[in-house]
Amino acid sequence: MIAFARVLHVGLSLLVSCSVAQSTNLTAVFRSILSPGAQIILPGPNGTWSSQVQTRWSDYRAPQYQAVIKPATEADIQRIVNVARTHGVSFLTTGGGHSTADFSAFAGISIDLGNFKSATLDATNSLLTVGGATEFVDIYNLLYDAGKELPVGSCACPGIVGSSIAAGLSPLMGERGLLTDALTSVRLVTADGRLVTASRTRNPDLFWALRGAGNNFGVITSATFKVYNATNDGQAMTASMVFPAATNGSFWNALHALDKTMPSRLSITALGFYFREFNLALPTTIAMTPQKDLYPPIQGSCDPNQHINLYSLAVAKLDPAALQAAYGDMVNMWQSYPGYQGRMLIQRFPNDAVAKAPWYETAYPWRDAIAQISIEGFMTDTSIYPVVDSFETSLRARLVKTSGYPRLATYAGYAKGTEDPSAWYGPNLPRLVAVKRQWDPQGLFSHSKPIPTWS
């Protein structure tokens, strides 16, 4: 990791509303169709939830649930989807819960997959099967102890399935490709309540669409991935360096120099943030680290219910001048608003193995992207939400101009959700529209980065 110090560190037809009476009606509607092990959980005072509910990484513009249903079986999920469709109840599925997307207009229920946390490794055939809510941290030791690896993300707590159906970016993707490239099959409940399997040979069009736009097509209960023999016996050399803010221009130039020469086994994560302290030591650490210990939850990456407003973009090239100007804008924001603790995150992961496949191989289109830039608006003062949103919207728009793409391109897993669908799906959008019309013509699964069925 590299960092700088200011710092840069490398609808029931009776559509549900918020009243207790209507929440009670939801209980009456769903309770009779669920198995004994399933739960219906209602919000407590002031909209609080019990610890049994998977909470979101960010509470900024989070969905407003009238109830959370925790199914115990796949049959429970089938019944929930059928009843919700019949009565017009909107729903979202929660797996890992690591989201900052804008769901402020959503009112309905959550299908919480907390009972679907499992991981089974078939080391002989190099296959890993996980439940719909299994997180990266749940498989670290399992894979490491077996001498295997998977191109997991650089954060411990996101859900594996949720990440993979967006694409699944990873420091290992220069060697292993995207996480979605390792996906071999999924079991999911579709909009008509069927439990189906999708793979390259079974429902192949659906399987194609799931790999990049998966939240549009069903509730995934389990997924199977191909795993690989661990690179370098599962050991990685890590280096953590901190640079003063005044040197950020030199750093961007050095990073840009790797645009076409990035080694496939090198990954760089750069964080620009403000320590708000003076005379800090600027440590450098270099160490050999087991893969299972590479991604501890640091810098608020796994703490729930934070105030985070995030905007991101994919870039096909890095522009040092634009990055230096953006960093200067961040400095001005930090100085002007003490309640703003935002940071600029650059994930410069190699894309050698990713780019070997054409853009139409899966629904994820941005295989030529060399980096992801995220403006992560952490806040302690919620009164500055409008200011932060305006600032980050404008900053992203300026960075798009030098991104190497003619318009905004963004990884759906990091997207705000308010962008035009072409930003998430690019040239794959027309084919996705056709698959969506076949598998979800009523748009049940259209609350998160939706594919427009009218295009």
Q: What is the pLDDT of residues 67-93, one digit of tens each?
A: 999 999 999 999 999 999 999 999 999
Does 285 lie in the same domain as 361?
yes
- Specify whether 196 is located in the same domain as 130: yes
The distance in angstroms from the start CA to the end CA of the chain is 42
- Tell me: do 261 and 388 sit in the same domain: yes
Token pair belonging to 138 = 């749940």
Note whether residue 415 is domain-resident.
no
What range does the domain containing 341 cover?
234-400
| 253: Cβ contacts below 8 Å, ≥ 6 apart | 320
* Final residue of a structural domain among 86, 112, 138: 112
State whether residue 63 is helix, strand or coil. coil
* Claim to verify: residue 132 and residue 263 sit in the same structural domain: no
Question: Which of 96, 112, 128 is at the close of a domain?
Answer: 112
Burial class (CB in 10 A: 0-12, 13-18, 19+), 431: middle
β-bridge pairing 285-290 and 235-244: antiparallel
Nearest to 450 by CA among 215, 108, 219: 215
Tokens matching residue 177:
């490709």
The dihedrals phi and psi of 193, each to the nearest 5 degrees, come to 85, 5
Kindly report the CATH number assigned to the domain that includes residue 59. Answer: 3.30.465.10
Helix (H) or strand (E) holding 431: helix 429-439
pLDDT by residue for the chain (455 residues), tens only, comes to 554 444 344 422 223 333 333 444 888 889 999 999 999 999 887 666 777 777 777 777 777 888 999 999 999 999 999 999 999 999 999 987 777 777 777 889 999 999 999 999 999 999 999 999 999 999 999 999 999 999 998 888 889 999 999 999 999 999 999 999 999 999 999 999 999 999 999 999 999 999 999 999 999 999 999 999 999 999 999 998 888 889 999 999 999 999 999 999 999 999 998 876 545 555 688 999 999 988 876 666 777 777 888 999 999 999 999 999 999 999 999 999 999 999 999 999 999 999 999 999 999 999 999 999 999 988 889 899 999 999 999 999 999 999 999 999 999 999 999 999 999 999 999 999 999 999 999 999 999 999 998 64
Instruction: Kindly tell me the burial class for residue 36, based on how many C-beta atoms sit within 10 Å of its own C-beta (0-12, 13-18, 19 or more).
Output: exposed
* 146 located within any domain: yes
CA angle 396, 58, 168 (to 5 degrees): 65
Task: Say whether both 375 and 348 belong to one domain.
Answer: yes
Whether the Cβ atoms of residue 347 and residue 154 lie closer than 8 Å to each other:
yes
CATH number at residue 346: 3.40.462.20
Same domain? For 173 and 46 the reply is no
Same domain, yes or no, for 225 and 356?
no
Domain identity same for 337 and 392? yes
For β-strands 343-348 and 371-378, DSSP reports them as antiparallel
| The pLDDT of residue 83 | 96
In a domain, 41, yes or no: yes
Q: Is 434 inside any structural domain?
A: no
- Residue 167's closest CA among 357, 30, 23, 34? 357
Same domain, 321 and 361: yes
Residue 148 in contact with residue 230, Cβ under 8 Å?
A: yes
Q: Are 272 and 355 found together in one domain?
A: yes
Position 280 scores a pLDDT of: 56
pLDDT value, residue 12: 27
Q: What's residue 47's pLDDT?
A: 64
Report the domain count for the chain: 3
250-259 confidence digits (pLDDT tens): 999 999 999 9
Look-up: residue for tokens 């009776």? Answer: 14
